[in-house]
Amino acid sequence: MNKNAILLFLFFVAIHSFGQRDIIIPPTKILTLNDIVITGRGNPIDYFKRNQSMTLLKADKLAMLPSRSLSEALSYTSGVDVRQRGLNGMQADIGIRGGSFEQTLILVNGFKLVDPQTGHHAMNIPFTVNAIDQIEVTKGPATHMFGQSALAGAVNFVSNLSSKTFVKAQSYTGSFGTTGINVTLSAPIKGWNQKISLGYDRSNGHWSNSDFDNKQISYEGGKSFKKQYFLVMLAYSDRKFGANGFYSNKFPDQWESTQNAFAGLRYNVNFRKTTWVNRLSTRTNRDEFRLKRNDPGFYTNRHFSETYSLESILSGKFLANWQYHLGVEHRIEVLNSSNLGLRNRQYSSGFGDMLYNVGKLTVTSSLLVFQYSNIPLKVLPSIQCAFQINEQNRLYANLAKSNRIPTYTELYYSDPSNMGNADLKPEYANSAELGWFKNGKLYLEGNVFYRQTYNMIDWIRDSSSVSPNPNKWKPVNIAEVRFYGVEATLRKTFVYSAAFKPNFIDFSYTYIQATHVFDSNVESRYAYSNLRHQLIAKLNFQISKYGSLQVNYRFLQRVSNPAYQLLDLKVASESLKGFSLFGEVNNLLNTQYVEAGFVQMPGRWFKVGLNYAFTKAN
pLDDT in tens, 446-478: 999 999 999 999 888 888 888 888 888 899 998
The C-alpha atoms of residue 368 and residue 327 are separated, in whole angstroms, by 10
Question: Does pLDDT of 41 surpass 70?
Answer: no
- Amino acid at residue number 158: V
Q: What b/e sequence results for 87-123 when a residue is b if at least 16 CB atoms lie within 10 Å of its CB, and e otherwise?
A: bbbbbbbbbbbbbbbbbbbbbbbbbbbbbbbbbbbbb
The pLDDT value recorded for residue 42 is: 52
The pLDDT value recorded for residue 45 is: 73
* Cis-peptide, bond into residue 27, ω within 30° of zero: no
Sheet hosting strand 54-58, strand order edge to edge: 54-58, 134-139, 153-158, 104-108, 111-112
Alpha carbon distances (Å) from 323 to 131, 315, 362, 395: 33, 7, 11, 20
The C-alpha atoms of residue 279 and residue 147 are separated, in whole angstroms, by 13
Per residue in 281-309, pLDDT tens? 999 999 999 999 999 999 999 999 999 99
The pLDDT value recorded for residue 398 is: 95
CATH superfamily of 3-615: TonB-dependent receptor, beta-barrel domain (2.40.170.20)
Contact between residue 604 and residue 174 where contact means Cβ atoms under 8 Å apart: no
The C-alpha atoms of residue 293 and residue 610 are separated, in whole angstroms, by 35
DSSP H or E run through 384: strand 375-388
Q: What is the pTM of this model?
A: 0.91
Given phi > 0 = left and psi -120 to 50 = alpha, else beta, which region is 395?
A: beta
Contact between residue 218 and residue 614 where contact means Cβ atoms under 8 Å apart: no
pLDDT band at 37 (very low <50, low <70, confident <90, very high): low
CA angle 253, 255, 259 (to 5 degrees): 175
The C-alpha atoms of residue 215 and residue 234 are separated, in whole angstroms, by 14
Mean pLDDT value across residues 28-43: 48
Q: Which letter does DSSP use for residue 472 in this model?
A: P
Per residue in 519-574, pLDDT tens? 667 887 777 778 999 999 999 999 888 899 999 999 999 987 889 999 999 999 99
